[in-house]
Homo-oligomer: A and B are copies of this chain.
Amino acid sequence: MRFTSEESSAGVCEQLFTLDEIPGVLWTPEGAAGTRPLILMGHGGGEHKKAPGIVSHAHRFVAEYGFAVAAVDVPGHGDRPTEEEYNRIAAENRARVEAGEELAPLVAGFQALVARQTVPEWQAVLDAIQRLEHVGAGPVGYWGVSLGCGLGVPFVATERRVRAAVLGLGGALASASAAAKISVPVEFLLQWDDERVPRAQGLALFDAIASAEKTLHANPGKHDEIPAFEIDSTLRFFARHLS
């Protein structure tokens, strides 16, 4: 793990790093020392580790609760090189949608393929970050919607260090079998008028999660229109389960 930059603002320290060619970012309270909860955030499709939604959530997790937050670029996103195979499949999928195929099953298949690479990558990132003195081996949370849900469900299902997860904007097609292996508390965000994930698919994914404690928060609006007040709920959810 190699740190390439460090800067602070408003009490939040941001460190860019690379780990085995994976570019990442770690946010911690300025001057932090000792073990604290760590939240790994998975970004959306076409976004990257420092997308505005990731940065604003991360700053609140750090500033209001003293958590550490990490995000890394998904293969083919952000500062990572183009992935010829993924690009080829994405182009094929676009053509199939234009030819009349349903979008959701194609997205689901693609996310399942990428997750086979990201689950071990994210585990390696946890290993490295939890060895840092100012993070340590505290409880871990996961936050990811849309692509961050498609990749997050198999990650949360596999990685025992994760104690609580916020997921959403994803459907059951790719993730139902992995969701059935999740047992930690989950807050699941669903957009009632999601133009990319059919409502029934989102409800079916929530249904498939095996956790005894899981809450569905559904709000009107499209895929990218999660209301601002949900961030407050997310903060309290992680505070309840990780503090």
Asked if A220 and B214 sit within 8 Å, CB to CB, the answer is yes
Which residues of the partner chain B approach A213 to less than 8 Å between Cβ atoms?
219-220, 227
- What is the CB-to-nearest-CB distance from A231 to chain B, in angstroms, rounded to a whole number? 13
Q: A200-215: which residues lie under 8 A (CB-CB) from chain B?
A: 203, 206-207, 212-215
Which residue on B lies nearest to A221, using beta carbons? B212
Which residues of the partner chain B approach A218 to less than 8 Å between Cβ atoms?
206, 215-216, 218
- What is the CB-to-nearest-CB distance from A215 to chain B, in angstroms, rounded to a whole number? 5
Which residue of the partner chain, among B192, B219, B233, contacts A233 with CB atoms under 8 Å? B233
Asked if A240 and B229 sit within 8 Å, CB to CB, the answer is yes
Does A2 make an interface contact (CB < 8 A)? no
Does A232 make an interface contact (CB < 8 A)? yes
Which residues of the partner chain B approach A216 to less than 8 Å between Cβ atoms?
190, 192, 216-219
Which residue of the partner chain, among B217, B232, B240, contacts A217 with CB atoms under 8 Å? B217
- Count of chain A residues with Cβ under 8 Å from any Cβ of B? 20
Does A160 make an interface contact (CB < 8 A)? no
Which residues of the partner chain B approach A217 to less than 8 Å between Cβ atoms?
215-217
- What is the CB-to-nearest-CB distance from A153 to chain B, in angstroms, rounded to a whole number? 17
- What is the CB-to-nearest-CB distance from A182 to chain B, in angstroms, rounded to a whole number? 13
Complex alpha-carbon distance, A192 and B216, angstroms: 9
Which residue of the partner chain, among B192, B214, B215, contacts A207 with CB atoms under 8 Å? B192
Does A96 make an interface contact (CB < 8 A)? no
Which residues of the partner chain B approach A207 to less than 8 Å between Cβ atoms?
192
Which residues of the partner chain B approach A227 to less than 8 Å between Cβ atoms?
213, 215
Which residues of the partner chain B approach A203 to less than 8 Å between Cβ atoms?
203
Asked if B219 and A214 sit within 8 Å, CB to CB, the answer is yes
Complex alpha-carbon distance, A196 and B192, angstroms: 24
Which residue on B lies nearest to A190, using beta carbons? B216
Does A116 make an interface contact (CB < 8 A)? no
Does A161 make an interface contact (CB < 8 A)? no
Complex alpha-carbon distance, A217 and B232, angstroms: 15
Q: A138-157: which residues lie under 8 A (CB-CB) from chain B?
A: none
